[in-house]
C-alpha cells in the first residue's frame, strides 16, 4: 500500500536492525486519515469474505480495525491484555509473549462477542514473530469461529512469523512488508507478498 | 445524544448501583457506526475551537477519539498506561488511579506529540471520579498546551468527577450523563448538562 509505505519512509524511525518506531502515526500518535485508508484497503480485500466480526488486540490495532469495521458494517472486538474486574469469567484466553516489551500477557475475549458461526478477520498493527496473531487465532479457534484471514499494517518480513503462518495455510494480508532495516534504512519486500 | 442513550438502554448492563457495563459497544466490542456518530458530535461541538490535537487514553478512548480526529482533520495521541521499551524517556507522565480496576497506572505521552502551541480536546470513554481526566489535564499542562475541553462518552453524574472539573472552569462535554443506576435501571440527567 503506497500511502503507508510513503508514511513509513517519511516518519518511521529505524532504531536498530530489528526495531522500527512508528509512534508518530500508528502506535502512540494516530493519523486518522491514514487509518481510514488502511481500513478501506482491508475492507476491499475482504469485502466478499462474508465477514461477521473483526478481532484485534489493544491498543494499536483498535484504530485500523475500527475503520475497517465501519466500512464493512461489522463490529470490532479488541482482545484485552489483562483481565479487568468487570470482565472476569466467561472468557476465551491465550498467552502471548511480546519480545519488544519482554513480557507475557494473557489476552482475553469475552464469550459474548465471539460465536461459532462468526467469520472473522484478525487485524493487528505489526507482525514480527507472530505471537499475537497466534494468540488471536487460538482464541478464534476456541470459539469454534472461522478465521478468514489476518490483516496486518506492517510486517517485519525478516522475522519468521509471516512465513510460519502462511506455511500453515493462513491468509495473511500485510499492507507493508519490510525486508530489511539494515544501515538505518527501510527496505520493502517486492513482488507477490507485498501485493 | 439520543443514539447513544438508546444504545445504553438497549445494550448496557447495570451490574450494581455504580457499575454500568457497556462492553458490547464501547469497552470490549466496538460499534464502529456509533463511534463515528460520537466522533461527529464531538467534532460539531469543537469545530470552532481551533483544535490541533486530540489526546485520549488507551484503550477504550481510541475508537471515538480517532473518529473525531478523522472528521476534524487532526492527529490523535493516546496516553499509554505503562512505559514500553521503545517509549522510554522523553515523556510527560502522571499517576492515575482506577477504582474499577483497583490499581494505579502511570500514564505517559511522548514529548514529541504534545507541544506548547497545541490546542487540545481530551476524549475519554467514561467520566466517574475524574481521575483519568485529571491525569490527562496534568499532562497537557506539563506540555504548556491548552486544553480546550473534555469530551466524554458516558458520564456517571452520580459520582463527583464532572462536578469537580466543572467547578474548576473546565469545559466538559458528556454525550450521555447518567444520574442513577438504582433498581437496575439507567436514568439519564436532563436539562442543560445533558445538552
Cell numbers standing for residue A6? 510513503
Of chain A, the percentage scoring pLDDT greater than 70 comes to 94
Q: What is the mean pLDDT of chain B?
A: 93
- The pLDDT tens digits for A136-187 are 999 999 999 999 999 999 999 999 999 999 999 999 999 999 999 999 999 9
Asked if the model's pLDDT at residue B169 lies above 60, the reply is: yes
Task: State yes or no: B157 annotated in a binding site.
Answer: no
- The pLDDT tens digits for B8-24 are 999 999 999 999 999 99
Task: Please report the domains of chain B, with CATH numbers, ordered by start residue.
Answer: 2-83+90-194 (3.40.50.2020)
In whole angstroms, give the CA distance from residue A190 to residue A178: 9
Name the residue among B19, B76, B80 with its Cβ closest to that of A32: B76
Cα-based distances in Å from B182 to B17, B20, B176: 5, 11, 17
pLDDT of res. A86: 53
B187-188 and B172-180 strand pairing: antiparallel
Asked if A116 and A27 count as a contact pair (C-beta separation under 8 A), the reply is no
Helix (H, G, I), strand (E, B) or coil at A176: strand
Asked if the model's pLDDT at residue B106 lies above 90, the reply is: yes
Instruction: Please report which confidence band the pLDDT of residue A193 belongs to, taking 50, 70 and 90 as the band edges.
Output: very low
In whole angstroms, give the CA distance from residue B171 to residue B133: 12
pLDDT of res. B100: 74
Q: Nearest Cα to B170, choosing from B145, B125, B137, B131?
A: B137
A27: chain B residues, CB-CB within 8 Å: 86
In whole angstroms, give the CA distance from residue A103 to residue A94: 14
Asked if the model's pLDDT at residue B159 lies above 80, the reply is: yes
- The pLDDT tens digits for B72-85 are 999 999 999 975 54
Asked if the model's pLDDT at residue B125 lies above 70, the reply is: yes
Tell which B residues from 96 to 155 touch A, by Cβ distance under 8 Å.
100-102, 109-110, 112-113
**Residue A89 or residue B34, greater confidence:** B34
In whole angstroms, give the CA distance from residue B169 to residue B101: 29
pLDDT of res. A195: 41
- Under an 8 A CB cutoff, do B23 and A86 touch? yes
Asked if the model's pLDDT at residue B87 lies above 90, the reply is: no
Cell numbers standing for residue A65? 480495525
In whole angstroms, give the CA distance from residue B82 to residue B77: 15
Tell which A residues from 11 to 30 touch B, by Cβ distance under 8 Å.
15, 19, 21, 23-25, 27-30
Instruction: Please report which confidence band the pLDDT of residue B195 belongs to, taking 50, 70 and 90 as the band edges.
Output: very low
B85 CB-near residues (< 8 Å, 6+ apart): A100, A101, A102
Task: State yes or no: B189 annotated in a binding site.
Answer: no
Q: Which of B59, B98, B107 is the mutation pick for testing A, counting most A CBs within 10 A?
A: B59
Asked if B12 and B186 count as a contact pair (C-beta separation under 8 A), the reply is yes
Tell which B residues from 49 to 78 touch A, by Cβ distance under 8 Å.
58-59, 62-63, 65-67, 69-70, 73-78
pLDDT of res. A89: 79
- The pLDDT tens digits for A106-140 are 999 999 999 999 999 999 999 999 999 999 999 99
- Under an 8 A CB cutoff, do A66 and B63 touch? yes
Sheet architecture: strand order including B172-180: A29-30, B76-79, B53-57, B119-127, B146-156, B172-180, B187-188
Residue A85, min C-alpha distance to chain B (Å): 6
A11: chain B residues, CB-CB within 8 Å: none
Asked if the model's pLDDT at residue B104 lies above 50, the reply is: yes
A24: chain B residues, CB-CB within 8 Å: 112-113
- Under an 8 A CB cutoff, do A75 and B35 touch? no
Task: State yes or no: B47 annotated in a binding site.
Answer: no
CB atoms within 10 A of CB B184: 10
Q: Nearest Cα to B109, choosing from B82, B134, B130?
A: B82
Task: State yes or no: B114 annotated in a binding site.
Answer: no
pLDDT of res. B192: 43
Amino acid at each position: 500500500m503506497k500511502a503507508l509505505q510513503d508514511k513509513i519512509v517519511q516518519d518511521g524511525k529505524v532504531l536498530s536492525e530489528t526495531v522500527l518506531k512508528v509512534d508518530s502515526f500508528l502506535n502512540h500518535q494516530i493519523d486518522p486519515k491514514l487509518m481510514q485508508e488502511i481500513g478501506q484497503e482491508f475492507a476491499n480485500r475482504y469485502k466478499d469474505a462474508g465477514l461477521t466480526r473483526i478481532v484485534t488486540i489493544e491498543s494499536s490495532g483498535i484504530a485500523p480495525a475500527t475503520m475497517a469495521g465501519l466500512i464493512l458494517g461489522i463490529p470490532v472486538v479488541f482482545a484485552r491484555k489483562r483481565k479487568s474486574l468487570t470482565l472476569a469469567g466467561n472468557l476465551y484466553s491465550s498467552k502471548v509473549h511480546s519480545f519488544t516489551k519482554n513480557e507475557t500477557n494473557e489476552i482475553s475475549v469475552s464469550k459474548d462477542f465471539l460465536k461459532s458461526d462468526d467469520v472473522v478477520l484478525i487485524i493487528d498493527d505489526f507482525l514480527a514473530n507472530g505471537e499475537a496473531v497466534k494468540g488471536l487465532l487460538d482464541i478464534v479457534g476456541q470459539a469454534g469461529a472461522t478465521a478468514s484471514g489476518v490483516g496486518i499494517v506492517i510486517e517485519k518480513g525478516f522475522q519468521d512469523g509471516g512465513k510460519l503462518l502462511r506455511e500453515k495455510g493462513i491468509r495473511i494480508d500485510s499492507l507493508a512488508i519490510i525486508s530489511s532495516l539494515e544501515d538505518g534504512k527501510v527496505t520493502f519486500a517486492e513482488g507477490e507478498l507485498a501485493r
